[in-house]
Amino acid sequence: MAHEQAEAEGPIDAFRQFFALQRDVLVLSLAMFAFSLGFQMTSRYLPEYIVALGASGFVVGLFGTVGNIISAVYPYPGGAVSDRIGSRYTLTIFGLLSTLGFGFWFLAPAIGTIELAGVSLPPWIWIFVGLFLAQAWKSFGLGATFAVVKQATDPSRLAAGFASTETFRRTAFLIGPVLAAVLIGFHPDFTVNFQYVLGVAVVFGAIGTVVQHFLYDASSDTIGDSFEGLDQIRQDLRDMPEELRPLLVGDTLVRFANGMVYVFFVLVVTRFLSVDVEMTVFVGGFTYPIDLPPEAFFGYLLGVEMVVALLVMAPAAKAAEYVGLKPVVAIGFAVYALFPIVLINTPESTLALILVFAFSGLRFAGLPSHKALIVGPAEQDTGGRVTGMYYLLRNTMVIPSAALGGYLWDFVSPEITFTVASVIGLVGTGYFLLFGKEFDAYR
């Protein structure tokens, strides 16, 4: 793997730098692209899908909390399975499980309500079942990905290294929701439309599984030691670099705030504001009427968000080399914190929503620097464990956020829910600004 990285000053440079990586890393990243595309096509619409299948706002919040639990507990057993049976077969099994999860989501309306041991199970329960499967592939490689970038990158260029891989991966975050928005326009019934989306996600999951199984060569894979149970967790906790603790506290508060409202973004657009698009566009002497329901418009809004993200990540990573990682991370935290209160107070206007989601895209400016700040202080060959422990702690503490948000959404009001989230996020941002440490290589 090349140790000297090209300057990444914009999205094109970030792509060029990415394709200089080793073949196996490229194969894994291509598989990640396929699964990210399938997941991003579907996951942001699942709250709307759940409500369409008869669930309440509180159930949507519980769905978000279950997702938080999975994110917190999957990585460690995922690593243990990988150590036991090898990377190729682990990736294949997890890929098949994720594809099966997309299939459960697809079949949920057809399965319908069933009686089991005298208990009536509504159709939205299968969305929860599918979630446990669909997130399986994501349980592999979080720490390994961080460790690979750390090993391949000069310490003073960590943010640029992460910008390269993130720019490629986030392209799937752009294409997925926009493709979903196109498919959602095919039928007047959202549930039917979304099944088209899920069918395409199944195809991408299958492609990703095949690509990684037949093209990935795990013979030289040396990442990660065997998982030794709770003793290893306690040791990794003790070994966490002191510089990470203020970042962890601030990041946890910001992510808790985001977790309270993240699953409700689609409901704000489709049900709370209920903004659709009706306009006529004149191009080349021809007239093109545009009529988008709120559900389809939401997909394009996510596309706007990700376009901005792709444009700002690499330049922000370059700027971090001059101003340090901490200011860039703090900007991302601030956007995370402010977005909920801005969104819930947005007027029922197409242009206003486009501008608000463009603003949301700025939060990704701090993502490469944030990753560099996490793994940078780790000793060589410990980046994976440090990253895994960091995310285990953060994601565990964020678990109840969506359930709290669902309770406030259902039993208080959406406005209060989003306002409380912003306040918590701003507290986390302020804490990081006051106590956060800079990575020495960027001083």
For the entire predicted model, the pTM comes to 0.85
Q: What is the CATH number of the domain that holds 378?
A: 1.20.1250.20
Q: What is the pLDDT of residue 424?
A: 98
Q: What is the pLDDT of residue 5?
A: 42
Tell me, yes or no, whether 307 lies in a domain: yes
Per residue of the chain (443 residues), give pLDDT as tens: 444 444 445 555 555 555 555 555 566 667 778 888 899 899 999 999 999 999 999 999 999 999 999 888 876 666 556 656 666 677 788 889 999 999 999 999 999 889 888 888 999 999 999 999 998 877 654 544 555 555 555 666 555 556 566 666 778 888 999 999 999 988 788 999 999 999 999 999 999 889 877 876 655 554 444 445 566 667 767 767 777 889 999 999 999 999 999 999 999 999 999 998 887 777 667 776 778 899 999 999 999 999 999 899 889 988 988 898 999 999 999 999 999 999 999 999 999 999 999 999 999 998 888 888 887 665 544 445 667 678 888 989 999 999 999 999 999 999 999 999 999 999 999 999 999 988 665 55
Tell me, yes or no, whether 233 lies in a domain: no
Query: In the structure encoding, which two tokens stand for residue 241, read together?
Result: 């670099």
CA distance 145 to 70: 19
Q: What is the pLDDT of residue 139?
A: 63
- State the pairing for strand pair 277-283/114-116: unpaired
Domain that holds residue 344: 11-217+241-442
- Total domains in the fold of the chain: 1
Tell me, yes or no, whether 5 lies in a domain: no
Tell me, yes or no, whether 3 lies in a domain: no
Q: What is the pLDDT of residue 188?
A: 81
For the four alpha carbons of 142, 144, 145 and 146, in that order, the dihedral sign comes to positive
Tell me, yes or no, whether 234 lies in a domain: no
Q: What is the pLDDT of residue 439?
A: 67
CA angle 282, 270, 339 (to 5 degrees): 95
Helices (H), 286-439: 294-323, 325-344, 350-361, 367-375, 383-398, 401-411, 414-435
- Residue 361 neighbours by CB distance under 10 Å: 24
Q: What separation in angstroms does the CA of 412 have from each of 53, 157, 261, 409, 419?
A: 23, 47, 14, 6, 12
Which residues lie across from 121 on neighbouring strands?
Answer: 114
Tell me, yes or no, whether 222 lies in a domain: no
Tell me, yes or no, whether 232 lies in a domain: no
Of 174, 152, 166, residue with least CA distance to 365: 166
Tell me, yes or no, whether 229 lies in a domain: no
Q: How many CA atoms lie within 13 A of 252 on its CB side?
A: 18
CA distance 3 to 342: 42
CA distance 274 to 270: 4
